[in-house]
Chains A and B, each alone.
Chain A
Amino acid sequence: MLFSIVALSVRGSLVPIEWVDEIEYYALLVDQDTSAEIVVVVLQSLSGHGVTDQEGNEISDIVQLGVYIFNDLPMETYDGATVVGIGKEGKDNGLLVLIAIEERQWRIEIGYGLEGEITDIESNRIAQEYLIPQLSQGKIGEGLYDTVVALGQQIPISGQTSPGEVRGTYYYEQELGIEETPFRETEWFIWLVIIILILLGVSVGTPVFRRSGGRGRGGRSGGGGSKGRW
């Protein structure tokens, strides 16, 4: 499934640009110091965002949407590369803060590797203390920034990230996913057989194939965290 993200063009329309910069800068520091990645996604609404599941239906449940964004949505990094999965591969140390403004819903999704540092209860308390009160007053930028800082302070400093691993983009607004042709392994297999039959000889020594790479793989999550309304 290939998506293209049209996020940066509308940057700053939902959250004041100075708060976007503050959030990005703090997340960058967290990445450099702890190698953990905190990504903030702000949606105007849970409908019309264009992020779809494998059957092509738009995901309207905030938990499922969070899981999908965390694990399956290709996201651009500052150097133009694309990474799937928030956090570092193998460490699974990612955090996602997702809010939908119209529905007044929030979701904090925690990567497998941080479930011990930030329990569901702690993520809920952070949201109750920093996110909900400020969102209720319409201070979306401050609320998100304070929440990101409170979450970041829970992450122990361990191992620094090498410059090449820093994502550099941690804030997305109203992502729009455009689905292209699904690419199934079985179909690929059949095409591969056909191509081999055509090319004969040339392909005999081909090693057993694997799913094609091309994009960087990041961390994973499994639905941990908390959610609510404001």
Chain B
Amino acid sequence: MNKLSLIFVIIVVIALIVGGIFVWLYFSTYNNVVGLEGAADAQWAQVEQELQRRYDLIPNVVNASKLYIDYEGSVLEEITRLRSQWAAASQSGNVDSINNATGELESSLSRLLVVFENYPELKASQIVGDLLVVLEGTENRISTERMRYNEAVRDYNVFIKSFPGNFWVSNWGFESKAYFEAKVGAEEPPPVPL
């Protein structure tokens, strides 16, 4: 009898401990998913801010360049058009269309920078030179924040797919996030000649 009740007590204690660990694991997993998702969302806001910076900068670059390269206006028109297309994609909030629009805009910006190479008087201009420095800084910021966003997404995606998150996360309504990758061939920021 004594022996039986001792075994019973041990079983109850073990059950309580295992139950406690389970509850702790459940809530700490939930908190971690929320934290990782929040980090990825905050990083996405940083990316958007830098893309907005580029969006605001493009009219300045286009207008300053117009003074020097009037007969290569097609590049400038294309950039202006892709800028509007990017704004529409950004409004829609769809990551895929933002990716595509960003990739196209980046490749047309790099074409413009190649055009600049052919205009020494353009590069000698103080205003255009400064705008190129700002454009380059913006491109570097975008690629830095984009890399950090993708790292945050990777941490989040790995967590929700690994044990024990994979048991619960879908019930909680968390889904894996898409990486932000501009179109193939546009991962590199346009090279800025100095």
Query: A: which residues have CB within 8 A of B?
Result: 54, 63, 67, 119-121, 124, 184-186, 189-190, 193, 196-197, 200-201, 203-204, 206, 208-209, 222-229
Contacts and interface: CB of A to CB of B under 8 A. Distances in A.
A162 to B, nearest CB: 30
B133 A124 contact: yes
Contact of B158 (A186, A208, A227): A186
B6 interface: no
Contacts, number: 67
A226 B145 contact: no
A224 B134 contact: no
B2 to A, nearest CB: 23
Interface in B103-129: none
A186 B154 CA distance: 12
B20 A204 contact: yes
Contact of B159 (A186, A197, A200): A186
Contacts of A193: 25, 164
Contacts of A226: 133, 136-137
Given A120-B133, A120-B134, A200-B17, A228 B158 contact: no
B141 A121 contact: no
A230 to B, nearest CB: 10
Interface in B17-31: 17, 20-21, 24-25, 27-28, 31
A224 B133 contact: no
A54 B144 CA distance: 14
B194 A229 contact: yes
A67 B164 CA distance: 34
The B interface, classified by DSSP as helix, strand, loop or mixed, is: helix
B78 interface: no
B176 interface: no
Nearest to B14: A200
Counting contact residues on chain B (CB < 8 A from A), the size range is: 20 to 34
Interface of B: 14, 17, 20-21, 24-25, 27-28, 31-32, 46, 50, 130, 133-134, 136-137, 140-145, 151, 155, 158-159, 162-164, 194
Given A208-B28, A223-B140, 7 more contacts: A120-B133, A200-B21, A206-B24, A208-B31, A223-B137, A223-B143, A228-B194
A119 B131 CA distance: 12
Given A186-B158, A222-B145, A120 B24 contact: no
B130 A121 contact: yes
A186 B156 CA distance: 10
18 contacts: A120-B136, A185-B155, A189-B162, A196-B21, A200-B17, A200-B21, A208-B27, A208-B28, A208-B32, A222-B145, A223-B142, A223-B144, A223-B145, A224-B137, A224-B141, A225-B137, A226-B133, A227-B136
Nearest to B154: A54
B181 to A, nearest CB: 16
Contacts of B141: 222-224
A121 B28 CA distance: 47
Nearest to A132: B194
B28 A209 contact: yes
Nearest to A207: B28
A224 B134 CA distance: 9
